């Protein structure tokens, strides 16, 4: 993924003529933190875990980005994801920079109690490398609101009693009862669909009757399907780590969510057939929503894509070789730093809510989120026209212009 990030960055920098000094600064990360920490397991043994936090750039504000628990987490993945967060927060017009991290583990192998101890010990190991005005984590792959509550509680417990309440916004994506934001759970998936609605409007069509497939049926995939169905679109295929299912007549995402919760898999869902996993992206459909991991659409499968548009709910789901094939075929790609930015925008709203001692309603969140997503989409389309380039490069240019301006206005210390 990190190679993809560098290639995409270089392309945008060259197209826009990015200042060479700024390019040099943005080509490397500010800080890379690796922590090894012991945790006692349920059986009394001790395991040592490796955790990562990469802070890419903070010229626009505190580092912001998720923590993921996955076997693929390593320093390169964290670098790539942190860099993408810098572009994403800049494009969305937020006062943040980019950070990312996580722990290299498979959470399915650990009990709830073990995951709590791992999460709290990781937080303690990070210490003041995170903070509400310095670096603000959030949920990502295999992490959730409960884990964010554990992080907040652990971090706040390290502060003096008089200071604890001032640190509630050290993380976002918390449960609503613990300072979380109404609607934060659906913000990323909702944002994906807002960009697809904007795409449909741009192309003088609608999502009504459009056939779509979703890779990944976690938080982002489910909520994207939920809001797509509200637009009258038809879900015909779903793929996740447990299997691939297909029904050309349509799949009910609400019923599938209940089935998944009860059975721990999507395979075997009523009225669907198992589908060859390697042929998933070749399913006949109008829209693809990759909402799982990176590097899923590649040179090996891009030519089989029949969809008109790909909405990148995941970070980096399309590699550079795959993207070249798709663009040559006329497939439009709503890039990740635009398409899935609803999550970090929702996190910004939660951060503001905690900081100001306010309580935002669901209506407040949805209205403000839609406006920010639509504004960002429209700016990317305008920039693509100005530079005669693709939407991903245009999104990067939009992000880089804002960062370049900050460096030029502030100068380089000393």
CA R_g for the chain: 21
Q: Which of 198, 193, 231 has its CA nearest to residue 377?
A: 198
157 annotated ligand binder = no
Do residues 9 and 396 make contact, with C-beta atoms less than 8 angstroms apart? yes
How many angstroms separate the CA atoms of 173 and 185, rounded? Answer: 7
Do residues 14 and 400 make contact, with C-beta atoms less than 8 angstroms apart? no
3-state secondary structure of 48: strand
347 annotated ligand binder = yes
Q: List the structure tokens of 110.
A: 């650990």
142 annotated ligand binder = no
DSSP string, 341-378: THHHHHHHHHHHHHHHT----HHHHHHHHHHHHHHHHH
How many angstroms separate the CA atoms of 286 and 209, rounded? Answer: 10
165 annotated ligand binder = no
3-state secondary structure of 221: helix
Do residues 129 and 53 make contact, with C-beta atoms less than 8 angstroms apart? yes
Residue 368 known to be catalytic: no
Do residues 312 and 220 make contact, with C-beta atoms less than 8 angstroms apart? no
389 annotated ligand binder = no
Please, how many CA atoms are within 13 Å of residue 5, restricted to the half-sphere of its CB? 24
How many angstroms separate the CA atoms of 337 and 76, rounded? Answer: 18
Do residues 181 and 360 make contact, with C-beta atoms less than 8 angstroms apart? yes
Given the residues 6, 24, 40, 100, select the one marked as catalytic: 100
Binding site, annotated residues for NAD(+): 188, 219
Binding site, annotated residues for substrate: 64, 88, 347
Active site residues: 100
Binding site, annotated residues: 64, 88, 188, 219, 347
């Amino acid at each position: 993924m990190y190679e993809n990030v560098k290639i995409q960055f270089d392309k945008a920098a060259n197209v826009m003529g990015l200042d060479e000094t700024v390019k040099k600064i943005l080509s490397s990360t500010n800080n890379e933190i690796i922590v090894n920490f012991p945790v006692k397991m349920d059986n009394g043994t001790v395991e040592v875990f490796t955790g990562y936090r990469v802070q890419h750039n903070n010229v626009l504000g505190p580092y912001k980005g998720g923590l993921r628990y996955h076997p693929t987490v390593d320093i390169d993945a964290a670098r790539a994801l942190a860099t993408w967060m810098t572009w994403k927060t800049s494009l969305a017009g937020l006062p943040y920079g980019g950070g990312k991290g996580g722990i290299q583990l498979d959470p399915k192998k650990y009990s709830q109690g073990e995951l709590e101890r791992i999460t709290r010990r990781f937080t303690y190991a990070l210490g003041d490398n995170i903070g509400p005005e310095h670096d603000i984590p959030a949920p990502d792959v295999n992490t959730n609101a409960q884990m964010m509550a554990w992080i907040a509680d652990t971090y706040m417990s390290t502060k003096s009693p008089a200071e604890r309440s001032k640190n509630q916004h050290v993380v976002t994506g918390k449960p609503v009862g613990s300072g979380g934001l109404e609607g934060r759970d659906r913000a990323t998936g909702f944002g994906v669909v807002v960009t697809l609605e904007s795409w449909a409007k741009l192309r003088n069509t609608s999502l009504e009757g459009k056939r779509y497939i979703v890779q990944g049926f976690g938080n982002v995939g489910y909520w994207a399907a939920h809001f797509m169905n509200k637009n009258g679109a038809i879900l015909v295929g779903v793929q996740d780590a447990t299997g691939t299912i297909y029904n050309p007549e349509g799949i009910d995402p609400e019923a599938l969510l209940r089935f998944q919760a009860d059975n721990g898999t999507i395979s075997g869902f009523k009225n669907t057939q198992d589908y060859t996993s390697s042929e998933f992206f070749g399913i006949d459909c109008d829209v693809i929503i990759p909402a799982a991991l990176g590097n899923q659409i590649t040179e090996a499968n891009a030519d089989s894509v029949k969809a008109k548009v790909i909405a990148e709910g995941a970070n980096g789901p399309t590699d550079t070789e795959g993207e070249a094939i798709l663009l040559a075929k006329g497939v439009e790609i709503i890039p990740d730093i635009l398409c899935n930015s609803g999550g970090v925008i929702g996190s910004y709203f939660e951060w503001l809510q905690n900081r100001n001692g306010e309580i935002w309603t669901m209506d407040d969140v949805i209205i403000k989120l839609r406006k920010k997503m639509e504004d960002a989409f429209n700016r990317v389309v305008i920039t693509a026209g100005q530079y005669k380039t693709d939407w991903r490069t245009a999104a990067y240019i939009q992000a880089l212009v804002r960062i370049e301006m900050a460096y030029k206005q502030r100068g380089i210390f000393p």
